[in-house]
Amino acid sequence: MELLLIALLAQGHALLVGVPGLAKTLMIRTLADSMNLTFNRVQFTPDLIPTDITGTRMIEEDPETHRPVFKFLPGPLFANVVLADEVNRTPPKTQSSLLEAMQERQVTVAGVRHLLPDPFFVLATQNPIEQEGTYPLPEAQQDRFMFTVNVGYPSEEEEFRILESTTTASREKPEHVVNGPQLLEMQKLVRRVPAAGFVIRYAMRIARLTRPGTQDGEAPDPNVPDFVKKYVTWGAGPRAGQNLVLAAKARALLHGRTYVATEDVKAVALPVMRHRVVTNYNADADRVTPDEIVKKLLALVPARSAE
C-alpha cells in the first residue's frame, strides 16, 4: 500500500502484477474510498475498443432549436481513480488509448480535447501466469507507469486476518481521511521537497548504468558493468530518473522528512526500474531477471558518487 500512496502523491501511475484472488481490486477501491475520490473500474477484454474507455460523441436533439447536435458522453476514464483490470487482455490499439490520458491527463475524441479530473490516477492489474489470449503491453505504455508492483501471497498472519474479517456478516467501510483538494495540495508539496545534487546524481547514475549502448551506435557509458552489457538490450530512459527522484520525495514526506536521502531512492528503485530494463536471450538462458540486475546496480553504485 505504501508504494500506491507514493505513486499517488508523486502524480504517477502503477501496474500491479499478481495472480487472481490477492485483493488487488479491493485494495484499489479502498484507497479511493479512503480519500473520497471518484472511482471507475474497466474490465479490459479482447473486444474492448478505445471509445469504450475514453468516451464518444452522440447525436441528440437541442431542446431550444430542436436540431440534432453532437454531445460528448464521457467514458470511465473520467474519474479520479481508474482501475484498468487485466489490462493485457485487450489489443494494443485499445491499450494505447491510455497513453494520452496517463501522460497528458486528457483525452481527444473527434479532434476535441477533454481534460480529465484532477487528481487522476491509473492503476492497472495484470496476471503474470496466463499468456493465452493476452497482448503484452507496449514498451511506450509500460514507461508511462511510475511503478510495477509485484503483489505476492500474504503472510500466514495476514491471511488469517483476511479470512477472519471477510467472512463475517458486517464489513467495515473505510473512513475518509483526506479529500481531493487536500490531495492536490499534498502533490504540490512533494514537488517542493528539496533534493540535494548528490541524490539526483545518484538516481541518474542508476538509470544511466542500465544502458548497454545508445540507439545511434555511440559507445556506452564506460562505467556500465559487464553484466549489463551481457544481459540488457535496452535500459531505462530519462523518465526513469524523473520517477526515481519524485518517488523518493514522496517517500521522504510519508516518513516525516523534509529532505530526500539516497535510502529513499534505493527503496523505490526496484518498482521504478523493473519494467524499464529489457533483457535479452542471454538473460533468459541464465534466468537473470531485471530485478536481479537492478539489485546488482544498487550494490555497485556508491551513494555519493558525484557531488
5-63 confidence digits (pLDDT tens): 999 999 999 999 887 777 777 788 888 888 888 899 999 988 988 889 998 888 887 77
The CATH class of 2-159 is alpha beta
Looking at the chain, which residues constitute the CATH 3.40.50.300 domain(s)?
2-159
Please, what is the average pLDDT of the chain? 87
What's the pLDDT tens digit per position in 65-88?
A: 778 877 888 889 999 999 998 888
Residues forming CATH 1.10.8.80 domain(s) in the chain: 193-300
Task: Please report which confidence band the pLDDT of residue 214 belongs to, taking 50, 70 and 90 as the band edges.
Answer: low
Compare 165 and 149 and report the one with higher pLDDT: 149
Question: CB within 8 A of 60, min separation 6: which ones?
Answer: 68, 69, 71
Give me the CATH topology for the region 193-300. Answer: Helicase, Ruva Protein; domain 3 (1.10.8)
220: pLDDT confidence band, cut at 50, 70 and 90? low
